[in-house]
């Protein structure tokens, strides 16, 4: 990629040729190459960093909460990130089935966060909605635990030399279950 290339996925054609006997063959294929953003150079809130990749919805410093009203159906409203009665000014609001990847470039030593199901999450009639969450560092799962509404989990993960960190909220029975990564930040230098 040329210097100063925009942060995005590019499609690059790779081609080659070979000869078998007297017959010459040529093959080509397109491959995606992702130019990541510059890695953080200081301790940063994840909600303030660009994501390298995202599957599912993510909301900066808030959560989008589904609300069902008989006769009107399903609607959505933005609310502060709230778990166990505590409101958090910083964090990433996501939903079940989401995966967020942040490029760290080996400059960060730690990830801290409070993770759980938002207090305002629509429970779809279940007594205590829950789901598995995972933290994957450079392709290796380093944290894998079920979180439930009313029982957030404190995260304090070593990221030494990590090129990328992925935050996953698994999709199980409930789609659009509101998951919070409150006060999520990386300690970098």
pLDDT at position 12 over 60: yes
CA distance 32 to 10: 6
pLDDT at 33: 74
- CATH assignment, 38-188: 2.60.120.1060
CB 58 within 8 A of CB 45: no
pLDDT at 63: 93
Confidence of residue 1 (pLDDT cuts 50, 70, 90): very low
pLDDT at position 35 over 80: no
Cα dihedral 153, 101, 92, 108 sign: positive
pLDDT at 3: 58
Confidence of residue 5 (pLDDT cuts 50, 70, 90): low
Closest CA to 30 of 45, 51, 46, 13: 13
Per-residue pLDDT tens digits for 96-139: 999 999 999 999 999 999 999 999 887 767 778 889 999 999 99
Confidence of residue 47 (pLDDT cuts 50, 70, 90): very high
Residue ranges per domain, the chain? 38-188
CB 169 within 8 A of CB 179: yes
Q: Strands of 4-97 (E only): list them.
A: 9-20, 23-34, 44-45, 53-55, 58-60, 63-69, 73-79, 81-83, 86-88, 91-95
Average confidence (pLDDT) over 138-161: 95
DSSP lists the bridge partners of residue 179 as: 94, 117
CB 93 within 8 A of CB 167: no
Q: What are the backbone dihedrals phi and psi of residue 153, each rounded to the nearest 5 degrees, phi first?
A: -115, 135
Please tell me the pTM assigned to this model.
0.81
DSSP single-letter state for residue 38: P
């Amino acid at each position: 990629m040329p210097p100063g290339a925009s942060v995005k996925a590019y499609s690059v054609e790779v081609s080659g040729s070979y000869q078998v006997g007297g017959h010459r063959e040529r093959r080509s294929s397109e491959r995606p190459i992702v130019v990541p953003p510059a890695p953080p150079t200081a301790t940063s809130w994840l909600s303030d960093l660009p994501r390298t990749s995202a599957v599912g919805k993510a909301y900066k410093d808030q959560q989008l909460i589904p609300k069902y009203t008989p006769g009107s159906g399903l609607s959505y409203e933005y609310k502060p990130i709230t778990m166990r009665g505590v409101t958090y000014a910083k964090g990433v609001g996501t939903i079940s089935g989401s995966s967020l990847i942040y490029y760290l470039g080996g400059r960060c030593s730690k990830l801290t966060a409070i993770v759980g199901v938002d207090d305002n999450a629509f429970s779809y009639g279940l007594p205590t909605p829950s789901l598995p969450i995972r933290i994957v560092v450079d392709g290796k799962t380093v944290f894998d635990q079920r979180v439930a509404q009313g029982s957030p989990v404190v995260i304090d993960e070593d990221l030494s030399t990590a090129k990328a960190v992925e935050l996953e909220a698994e999709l199980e029975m409930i789609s659009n279950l509101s998951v919070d990564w409150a006060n999520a930040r990386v300690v970098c230098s």
